[in-house]
Amino acid sequence: MNKKEKKTPLSSGLYILLSSLIVVIAVFLDQYTKFLAAAYLKGKEAISLIPGVLELKYLYPENRGIAFGMFQGSTAFFAVVSMILFILIIWIFLKMPKNRYYMPLMAVCVLMLSGALGNMIDRVFRGYVIDFIYFSLIDFPVFNMADIYVVCGGILLVIFVFFKYKKEDDFDFLSFRKKEK
């Protein structure tokens, strides 16, 4: 990527509008799949999508912990933590330079915002998170779309930090100090 491409600014308004639209669509998909899981899977046998590998299975009792059902019974605490993380991701998202160089990091923020918001909605309005996707091949904990968004965002973040954003000043936009001219 040349210097000109790196510094080409994107329209802030368009960037925020498009990102917000993607978050709304992703959260809608998460909430809709959870609605379908509660309506058609709760109290029923698992539906095998790929025999011996992938199932749709309503997790009961519901997940009152964090990702993959860890730390059960701390719903209020995790709702607050989710809210703090949601605000932190929005802050990073808004401080990030609006240019092509940071587009992959913007996508990570959109994924993580979508996942955090999807599960936060469940915790606040239901008191638990609906999980229904099960990899039976490796007996992986049951999860949902929001978990997929957060995990994929986290994996991409690690990859980008180690392989793309390696320069010392790549994260200067997060500094509270004023940049010297």
The answer to the question of residue 51 being in a domain is yes
**More confident site: 43 or 13:** 43
Considering 4-8, 28-32, 106-110, 174-178, the range whose residues carry the highest mean pLDDT is: 28-32
Considering 6-10, 69-73, 153-157, the range whose residues carry the highest mean pLDDT is: 153-157
The answer to the question of residue 171 being in a domain is no
The answer to the question of residue 9 being in a domain is no
The answer to the question of residue 3 being in a domain is no
pLDDT confidence band for 118 (50 / 70 / 90): very high
| Catalytic (active site) residue 147 | yes
Domains held by the chain: number: 1
Q: Which of 147, 169, 170, 172 is catalytic?
A: 147
Question: For tokens 């999860």, what's the residue?
Answer: 143
Q: Which of 131, 139, 169, 172 is catalytic?
A: 131
By mean pLDDT, which of 33-47, 57-71, 77-91, 102-116 is the weakest?
Answer: 57-71
The answer to the question of residue 58 being in a domain is yes
**More confident site: 93 or 41:** 41
Q: What is the pLDDT of residue 39?
A: 96
Average pLDDT, the chain: 86
The answer to the question of residue 181 being in a domain is no
pLDDT in tens, 157-171: 999 999 999 888 898
Q: What is the CA radius of gyration of the chain?
A: 19
- 129-151: average pLDDT: 93
| Catalytic (active site) residue 170 | no
The answer to the question of residue 8 being in a domain is no
Residue 116 domain boundaries? 19-165
DSSP string, the chain: --HHHHH-BPPHHHHHHHHHHHHHHHHHHHHHHHHHHHHHTTTSPPEEEETTTEEE---SS-B-SSGGG-STT-HHHHHHHHHHHHHHHHHHHHHS--BGGGHHHHHHHHHHHHHHHHHHHHHHHTSSB---EEETTTTPPPB-HHHHHHHHHHHHHHHHHHHTS-STTTTGGG-SSPPP-
